[in-house]
Amino acid sequence: MRWVCILLVLCSCAKKPTKQQSLPVYPVSVIKAVKEDVPIYSSVIGHVDPITTINVQSRIEGSLLKAYFKEGQIVKKDELLFTIDPRPYEADLQKAKAGYEQALAELRLSEDKVKRFTPLVEDEYYSQNDFDTLVQNNEANKAQLKETKADIESATLNLDYCYIYCPVDGVAGFSQIDPGNMIFPNNNSTLVTINQIEPIYVRFFLPENQLQKLFYYRSQNPINIEVTLDDTQDTKVYGELDMIDNQVDTSTGMITVRGIFENKDHRLWPGEFVPTRLIFKVEKDAIIIPYQAVQSTPKGHVVYVVKDDNTIEMRKVVIGQRENGNIIIQQGLKGDETVVTEGQLNLSNGSKVTIAKQS
């Protein structure tokens, strides 16, 4: 009986409830996912090329008299750039005109002789052989007159070439020849180089595996191109796709693509390299969160979603393009949900958290 009482006492002690241990609460930093319109793009380095580069050269020989522009300045089409000493060519023109007048006089005389001797030949008062000579001389004088006309045209052109005008609107480079020097056109010497920069090209290379993607989006909408002009990412200019080269470079697997920009403020300058984005499309209402909120696991990418009761749901997501420290979530998250950005190390499904910082 005594042992029965002891056993009952022990059993009653064993059934006494123990104090339940509380789950740990982890401090975390969080942020709400947002919806934004985000460009889908490919980042490359572009090279700025002028629309046209013209090496201004002389067509005639002579002494360079004067330059009418400042190096590096904007020049306009048909603006006078250089003059070459015109005096020798003015003399050539006067000589050609005098030759024309002489040839014209000789032609008139020979025509008059043919006219006067024609009836005499018909009446056999003048030798047929002598008359044929008159006719032949008259034809030669006609040819001589044509030749002198050509000499006048040539001399006029050469005189015009003494005045060298700007062929396009653009920017003048360094002058290669100073006034006072002789110019010899056979040397193909460039007087100045003019770059047309309004509009202007930006050329870059794209991997061939993005070519079909480019063709697809080009068929859907115009392809825009964005160029960043400074390291702060604040100054950008926008153009559009102008050309895709007709073949892929087999040695590099790259294809040349070119954009065109209005460049009215001349911010893009020939020869410079610029960060460039080929924007395939703009994704409307894309879900955006900081890249640090995404965790990589053997089963894929996950985020830790904070529910209304401050517990954690580990959610698998499909990520998209990364953008300035943020990343697009293509599947697995809504635009108004809260995700953990710091403190994920100890979290799992059902973990209790407290919000230490909310962005």
Instruction: Tell me: do 295 and 275 sit in the same domain.
Output: no
Domain boundary among the residues 142, 161, 180 is at: 161
Question: What count of other Cβ atoms lies within 10 Å of the Cβ of residue 194?
Answer: 23
Q: Whole domain around residue 262: which residue ranges? A: 42-51+198-282
pLDDT digit string, tens, across residues 13-57 = 444 444 445 678 999 999 999 998 888 899 999 999 999 999 999
H helical segments located in the chain: 2-14, 87-122, 128-160, 211-220
Burial annotation 281-317 (CB, 10 A radius, 16+ → b, else e): eebeebbbbbeebbbeeeeebbbbbbeeeeebebbeb
Give me the residues paired with residue 286 across strands.
Answer: 36
pTM over 0.95: no
How many domains is the chain partitioned into structurally?
Answer: 3
CATH number assigned to the domain comprising residue 309? 2.40.420.20
Q: Are 37 and 284 in contact (CB under 8 A)?
A: yes
Of the listed ranges 122-126, 184-188, 190-194, 203-207, the one predicted with least confidence: 122-126
Instruction: Tell me: do 108 and 94 sit in the same domain.
Output: yes
pLDDT computed for residue 105 by the predictor: 93
Angle at 146 between CA 144 and CA 149, to 5 degrees: 110
For the chain, give the percent of residues with pLDDT over 70.
Answer: 93
With 90 as the cut, is the pLDDT of residue 124 above it? Answer: no
| CA distance linking residue 195 with residue 48, whole number of Å | 12
Of the listed ranges 4-13, 37-46, 289-298, the one predicted with least confidence: 4-13
Domain boundary among the residues 237, 257, 282 is at: 282
Instruction: Tell me: do 46 and 117 sit in the same domain.
Output: no
Instruction: Tell me: do 316 and 345 sit in the same domain.
Output: yes
Domain boundary among the residues 220, 254, 282 is at: 282
CATH number assigned to the domain comprising residue 121? 1.10.287.470
pLDDT bracket for residue 232 (50, 70, 90): low
pLDDT computed for residue 130 by the predictor: 80
Instruction: Tell me: do 332 and 278 sit in the same domain.
Output: no
* DSSP letter assigned to residue 249: B
Q: Which residue has the higher pLDDT, 321 or 9?
A: 321
Please choose, from the candidates 283, 281, 287, 301, the residue with its C-alpha nearest in 3D space to the C-alpha of residue 329: 287
pLDDT bracket for residue 117 (50, 70, 90): confident
Longest dimension (CA), the chain: 184
In a domain, 347, yes or no: yes
With 70 as the cut, is the pLDDT of residue 7 above it? Answer: no
Q: Is 267 helix (H, G, I), strand (E, B) or coil?
A: coil
In a domain, 71, yes or no: no
* Mean pLDDT value of segment 282-295: 91
Give me the residues paired with residue 190 across strands.
Answer: 57
